[in-house]
Structure 1
Amino acid sequence: MNAIKVPLIVSPPCNITQSHGKNRPPYYGRLIGPLADFAHTIKGTVYAVDESTLFIKGFAYDGTGPDAFFWVGNSPRPSPEGYIIPYPEDYVGREPPILNAHNNTDVILRLPMGRRMRDIRWLSVWCRRFTVDFGEVFIPPGLDPPRARVLPELKRLAHGLRSGNVSVLDARTFYIPNLHYDGAGPDAYFWVGTGSEPNPYGIKVPNEVGSLEPLRGYQGEDIELQLPGNLTAHDIDWLGVWCVQYRHNFGHVNIPKDLDVPPALGQTKITPPWWYNPTSSTAKPAISNKSNCRELLDRRMQVRWEIQGDQIEIELSARIRADQYMSFGVSGIQGKPSMIGADLAVVFWNESTSTAFAVDYVVTHASQCDGNNGVCPDTRLGGVNDVTLVSGSRKDGITTVIYKRPLAAKESSRDKAISKSTQTSVIAAFGPLNSRQEANAHSITDKTTDEIKIDFSSNDDNACEGLADLTNDGIKPWPSRIITGETVFSTRIGPTGGKRGYSAITGKPSWGIAWYLNDLLIPEIYVERGQTYQFVVEGGDDRTNPAKYHPFYICDSPEGGFGQKSEIEQKRQRVFAGVSYDSEGYPYPTAAGRYCEWTHKTIDKSMESETFESYTKTLQLECERGDQAILNWTVEQETPDLLYYQCYTHTNLGWKIHVINPGANIIPGASILVKE
Structure 2
Amino acid sequence: MRSWVPPPRGLRSCLALLLILNAGVVSTRRQEPYYGRLIGRLTQYAHGIRGTVYAVDENTVFVRNFAYDGTGPDAYFWVGDTPQPSPEGILVPYPEDYTTRDPPILTAHSNSDILLRLPAGKRLRDIKWISVWCRRFTVNFGDVFIPPGLDPPRPRVLPEFKRLAHSLRSGNISVLDAKTFYIPNLHYDGAGPDAYFWVGNGSEPNPFGTKVPNEMGSMNPLRGYQGEDIEIQLPGKLTAYDIDWLAVWCVEYRHNFGHVFIPKDLDVPPALGQTKITTSSTTSQTPFNAANNCKEILDKRLQVKWEIQGDQVQITLSARLRKEQYMAFGISGAEGRPAMLGADVVVAFWDTRADQPRVADYTISHLAQCDGERGVCPDARLGGSNDAVLVSGQQKNGVTTITYRRPLAAKEPSKDKEILTSRSQSVIAAFGPLNSRYEANAHSFMDTTRNDVQLDFGANNDNTCLGLAELDTSGPAPWPARVIAGVTNLTARIGPAGGVRGYTPITGHPSWGIAWYINDMLIPEIYVERGKTYTFVVEGGDDRTNPAKFHPFYISDSPEGGFGQKKEEDQRKQRVFAGVAYDNEQYPYPTAVGRYCEWTHKTIDQASTSETFEDYMKTLQLECNEGEPAILNWTVAHETPDLVYYQCYTHNNLGWKIHVVDPGTPIPFPIDQRAGLSSATIFPPLTTFAILTLLTALRNVVER
TM-score (norm 1): 0.45
State TM-score, norm by structure 2.
Answer: 0.44
Structure label with greater radius of gyration: 2
